[in-house]
Amino acid sequence: MTQHDPSTATPPAAAATRSTSDLKKAAVSGWLGTAMEFMDFQLYSLAAAIVFNDIFFPDVSPAIGLIAAMGTYGVGYVARLVGAVYFGRMGDRIGRKRVLFITIALMGASTTLIGVLPTYAQIGIAAPALLVVLRLVQGFGAGAEIAGATTMLAEYAPVKRRGVIASLVSLGTNTGTLAATGLWAILIAVLSEDQLISWGWRLPFLLSFFLMLFALWIRTHLKESPVFENRADLDEEGVAISREKLEAAAATPSKASGSDVLAAAVKQRKGKAFFIALGLRFGQAGNSGLIQTFLVGYLATTLLLDRSIATNALLISSAVGFATVPLVGLVSDRVGRRPVYMALTVVSGILAFPLMHLVSEGSTVAVTLSMILLHNLAVLGLFSLESVTMAELFGARTRFTQLALAKEIGGILATAIGPLLAASLTAWTGSWWPIAAMLVAYSAITLVSAVVSPEVRGRDLVRLEDAV
């Protein structure tokens, strides 16, 4: 690893280069880690909805059992926030690579172990207790996984292709969701209900073990982020120096010491970049909660449509996303992040009411096409931009931590509030228009955040201070 002594080192003008082979490994690592995170998420959420109430909470009514099963799903969100803080700070201090190895090991091991858990019938109340423990461990690791993968890949990518390369992290969400949904679809199709409850539910969790081994192998052979290695605030051991030492080094009147670079990090007022990132995340996550979660239930319970219509629409839309996500990243590399953010949010807001009106009419074709458009514009497109823009907004000294917190806090707030508020408003009004109004509101939050944000395309990621 390249080492720096802040008292003698000259800050580099650009990050150290990596070979094409190194970049490919980083890309596969980022894609695979995100795929694992969303595969674990979808495996667990589907299991909680389909079988966990029978396996771990059989002595209560079906309704209470479902609530308890979903509760074990929800505790992971608390652990995610803790993991974002803990691993984010670790990644900013000692390096991205080591943290990413730990996070994927925690996620993979806990997911695999869920597949070998004894049931309530075998060990009683200890079974759901162990399930909660594993869910907490899983969330603890996942809280920093996507932020770390985004940070690593953005710091690896060539400046002119940073948007399209960083978007590969976003493609991992589609891969993981499709894989988990496909596995459960196969099990439900080929197994009887008794087989599914007795042993079939374990298979997806056990199969994830092989994916974890491959991911760990990739990350073992992955080099550290070139941006991290070139930071001006590392000590002789390659570890970030303390705030006190940073201030002392910044005060050294020596051009060779890079005191001007260090001083910029010391003098900057913190917080503005974080709140801009939080707004960018809040809009994307809010739209996701409405379209991917609430709308699926609304179509089935309120409009009384077949459940397969909404789920099939999302599966098709996720497949379309394999083209949308890199295309958005590519365009943002050409014209900038802000113009693309503004275009996507404005179009999403304009189309929200007419598309939701089409959805309310209940036609399978209209529902499918409308959900594909909304999902790709207001969710996947924004997620592609989010991957690179947040990394460019933050300085190298706190990038991992701030990115992880912005993603987790924004995601938790938006996805917790959105579906609940939408359910209350649609029940009160007896209409679909509150969903459209909320889509407009969420898109507006992201639009305002993009307007007040500086253009960060091509920013030197070695800089220690935030972009604003």
Question: Could you tell me the pTM of the whole model?
Answer: 0.85
| Residue 7 binned pLDDT confidence (cut-offs 50, 70, 90) | very low
Q: Please, are residues 183 and 205 in contact by the beta-carbon 8 Å criterion?
A: no
- Residue in 36, 232, 286, 233 with CA at minimum distance from that of residue 149: 36
Q: Please, are residues 47 and 72 in contact by the beta-carbon 8 Å criterion?
A: no
Query: What fold does the segment set 20-228 form as a domain?
Result: Growth Hormone; Chain: A; (1.20.1250)
Question: How many whole angstroms separate alpha carbon 337 and alpha carbon 345?
Answer: 12
Ranges of each domain in the chain: 20-228, 268-452
Phi-psi region of 458 (alpha: psi -120 to 50; beta: other; left: phi over 0): left
Taking only the tens place, the pLDDT of each residue in 408-438 is 998 888 876 787 788 888 888 889 999 999 9
- Residue in 26, 129, 35, 37 with CA at minimum distance from that of residue 83: 37
pLDDT of residue 16: 56
- Please give the single-letter amino acid code of residue 408: E
| Residue 69 binned pLDDT confidence (cut-offs 50, 70, 90) | low
Reading the block at residue 387, the tokens are: 């991957």
Question: How many whole angstroms separate alpha carbon 119 and alpha carbon 128?
Answer: 8
Helix (H, G, I), strand (E, B) or coil at 3: coil
10 Å CB burial of residue 403 (0-12, 13-18, 19+) is buried
CA-based end-to-end distance of the chain: 30
Tell the residue number behind the tokens 């599966």, with chain if given: 315
Q: In the predicted model, is pLDDT for residue 286 greater than 80?
A: yes
Instruction: Give the pLDDT mean for 302-330.
Output: 87
Q: Please, are residues 97 and 222 in contact by the beta-carbon 8 Å criterion?
A: yes
pLDDT of residue 3: 40
- Please give the single-letter amino acid code of residue 11: P
Is the four-CA dihedral 262, 268, 271, 277 of positive or negative sign? Answer: negative
CA trace torsion 385, 143, 179, 205 (10° rounding): 180
Helix (H, G, I), strand (E, B) or coil at 193: helix
Q: Which of 41-55, 179-193, 246-260, 445-459 has the lowest mean pLDDT?
A: 246-260
Taking only the tens place, the pLDDT of each residue in 100-157 is 999 999 999 998 999 999 988 888 888 888 888 888 898 898 889 989 999 999 999 9
Taking only the tens place, the pLDDT of each residue in 323-350 is 999 999 999 999 999 999 999 999 999 9
Helix (H, G, I), strand (E, B) or coil at 58: coil
Reading the block at residue 10, the tokens are: 């000259």
Instruction: Look up the CATH number of domain 268-452.
Output: 1.20.1250.20
Helix (H, G, I), strand (E, B) or coil at 436: helix
Q: Which of 84-98, 251-265, 308-322, 452-466 has the lowest mean pLDDT?
A: 251-265
